[in-house]
């Protein structure tokens, strides 16, 4: 009888340790996801800031400057539920304005334009990397949260279900090819 109770207690202890380890892993995934979301937010704000700086520099033609300014301003002011759309529109505006390599060369030829071009190129390249990192974290957290043990024992607590950040982040070809 005592031997059976010892085995039951040992089995329950092993199960408890396993569930605790799984809950810790899920918590680490949520923390990684939060850090990735903050990094993506920082990159999106940086990209919009650089685009605003370029748009107000007076180097580009007025129509291009206006398109970039309005898209960047909308992206910076967007509410959370409209952020993906606004950021996608900024990507589309960048591709439209810098579709021609001559426009990149005009920016680069202006005083201080080489630095602005490099900064803009770096900003548009970092956004897709930050978004992929976030979406990979979301995918890993979702995969773990789908397991029955996580649902049955409510190991996720009250954390909201992770959502990916889906946007058009394709950079302009002529900017993406620039060295950083």
pLDDT tens by residue, 108-130 = 898 988 899 999 999 999 999 99
Over residues 19-29, mean pLDDT: 94
Rounded (10°) CA dihedral 23, 28, 32, 38: 80
Task: Please report whether residue 6 resides in a domain.
Answer: no
Give this prediction's pTM.
Answer: 0.89
Dump the DSSP string for 87-126. HHHHHHHHHHHTSSHHHHHHHHHSTTHHHHHHHHHHHHHH
Task: Please report whether residue 35 resides in a domain.
Answer: yes
Task: Please report whether residue 104 resides in a domain.
Answer: yes
Please report the pLDDT score of residue 180 as a whole number. 45
Total domain count, the chain: 1
Task: Please report whether residue 47 resides in a domain.
Answer: yes
Structural domain of 28: 15-176
Task: Please report whether residue 161 resides in a domain.
Answer: yes
Task: Please report whether residue 5 resides in a domain.
Answer: no
């Amino acid at each position: 009888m005592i031997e059976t109770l010892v085995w039951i207690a040992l089995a329950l202890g092993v199960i408890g340790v396993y569930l605790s380890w799984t809950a810790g892993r899920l918590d680490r995934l949520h923390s990684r996801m939060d850090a990735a979301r903050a990094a993506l937010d920082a990159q999106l704000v940086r990209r919009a800031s650089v685009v605003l700086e370029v748009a107000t520099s007076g180097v580009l033609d007025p129509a291009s400057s206006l398109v970039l300014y309005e898209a960047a301003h909308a992206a910076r002011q967007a509410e959370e539920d409209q952020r993906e759309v606004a950021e996608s529109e900024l990507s589309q505006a960048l591709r439209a304005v810098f579709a021609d390599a001559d426009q990149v060369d005009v920016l680069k030829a202006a005083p201080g334009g080489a630095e602005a071009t490099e900064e803009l190129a770096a900003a548009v390249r970092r956004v897709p990397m930050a978004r992929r990192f976030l979406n990979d974290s979301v995918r890993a957290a979702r995969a773990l949260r789908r397991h029955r043990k996580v649902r049955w024992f409510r190991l996720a607590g009250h954390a909201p279900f992770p959502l990916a950040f889906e946007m058009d982040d394709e950079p302009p070809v002529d900017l993406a090819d620039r060295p950083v």
